[in-house]
Chains A and B, each alone.
Chain A
């Protein structure tokens, strides 16, 4: 029972912290860090899309930046080009990301995992180059700036999104909702189906699971998550650029996920937070923070492949077993969150 208490305690503390950020952080440190935390939340959602595919279905996608890009450009072009207001633009970003995920997933999930990883990069590169070549439309690598419609109509009340506190809460709400959805899916029959495919796709097909269909569903869901994060990114920075569709962006998200803990709900958040905080702190003194990112990635992969949250869960299990008087089983591979 200690484990349950610990988990609930931490969840409550975490939630309380996150809600208090707009007042707590400026008091403790600096206003600037509120926007950093907002950024962390957005990118952690992107990492969650990698996590859904890799941690729960066993598919390593190195090209989620493509769907991030569709979400981002959906919003940017929706506002800049089509004159859409807030919610329609948001919708456009999400729907186009999911549509792209469906189209590319139909082809990609047929492949075995090596080729799957490669083709996800290839798809994202194709669109990266397309975006770069359509510079008048997309701004290429330089990107486009656009002005955000300053108001959001929500249930009758009108909010101005230029206020950083409101921005923060909007992002927090969206990210929390998405994580909640992810939590429900993971613990549903569909989620167990995902895990089965991850563990042993041959066995899964033999018990009657349509491996292809389930993978495709997961791929579209991940596209949704990436698209939402891209849309939020566009709203947050009022900026969209092709650079964010490059494979290095996808790769960083993979690192964040694995360091944080793949196959756990909060792993991506922890990993993203860690790396972005390091980046912010280190880059003001030393410009070579990528070196730390690279080193950390390698160290984690060698010494703690389950990631931070994975390690923590393992420690919790041992606590549990000790309470129940049983030795914990030795495992060497990833474990899904119960």
Chain B
């Protein structure tokens, strides 16, 4: 019993780190472009599929870690330019556009990849003893990669020109434009980054989840939960929320139905939306 709890809790923790990456992508899109991106779960799914294709074409798993975010970035930038920009990011219309995008992505994957879910073998097989249970090495590795990526992203935001531009536009668009920051270009690149983060998350997660054209459907609500509970615009909060929620869900799963776990997270999310819409975590609102 204790072993199950430990296992599920650790799985939850690690999954939370990966989701944090994806949720960060959603947060920058939502925070900067004001878009509720229904397709974001599918960005993650595309990442898993890209990883699968890289592996089957080249035989090398690690290529996927490069292919997924790069292609994701390009796709995201293109989508922003040809779909989002023409509608000037108009509120409700962009929800419909991202919903349409979600359908398109799912179908394209279904056509190219097929409708049957597949599993990918982890590049690092085996387990090591940890806290008294045998834990999969790849999961630990995935957690480390996710952590590194999270750290890298925050460094990017603080120290690179684009990162600073993103924060400036997020904070006050008009002033940023007045200061000469090319807002339109920032939007294009931001959407690309959002896609890239989700796709990278997908590549990392591929061996521990199934590669399936419907794989994004489950991830989407979870990302939104992390963003809302963590606080819109509060990037560290989003990370904390993702990890915490996933960890809690893991714990609850050990004693109850996974559905119950999901319902409790959703109820928590509703409570936050209604009572404290700025999120549970204080932090630097970027």
Contacts and interface: CB of A to CB of B under 8 A. Distances in A.
In-complex A–B contact (CB below 8 Å): yes
Contacts of A84: none
B185 interface: no
A178 interface: no
Given A251-B38, A290-B107, A298-B100, A119 B263 contact: no
B63 interface: no
A293 interface: yes
Contacts of A62: 95
Contacts of A117: 36, 95
A254 B95 contact: yes
B25 to A, nearest CB: 17
* A contacts with B: majority SS: helix
B251 to A, nearest CB: 18
Contacts of B266: 122, 125-126, 129
A57 B169 CA distance: 31
Nearest to B256: A133
Given A60-B95, A107-B274, A129-B259, A301 B87 contact: yes
A130 B274 CA distance: 21
Nearest to A258: B96
B221 A288 contact: no
B270 A119 contact: yes
Contacts of B65: none
A36 interface: no
Given A115-B277, A126-B266, A294 B100 contact: yes
B54 interface: no
B92 interface: yes
B154 to A, nearest CB: 25
Nearest to A59: B92
Interface of B: 34, 36, 38, 83, 86-87, 90-97, 99-104, 106-108, 110-111, 217, 221, 224, 228, 257, 259-260, 262-263, 266-267, 269-270, 273-274, 277
Given A117-B36, A122-B273, 20 more contacts: A107-B274, A111-B273, A111-B277, A115-B228, A118-B36, A125-B266, A126-B263, A126-B267, A130-B263, A133-B263, A258-B93, A258-B96, A290-B103, A291-B104, A291-B111, A295-B104, A297-B97, A297-B100, A298-B100, A298-B101
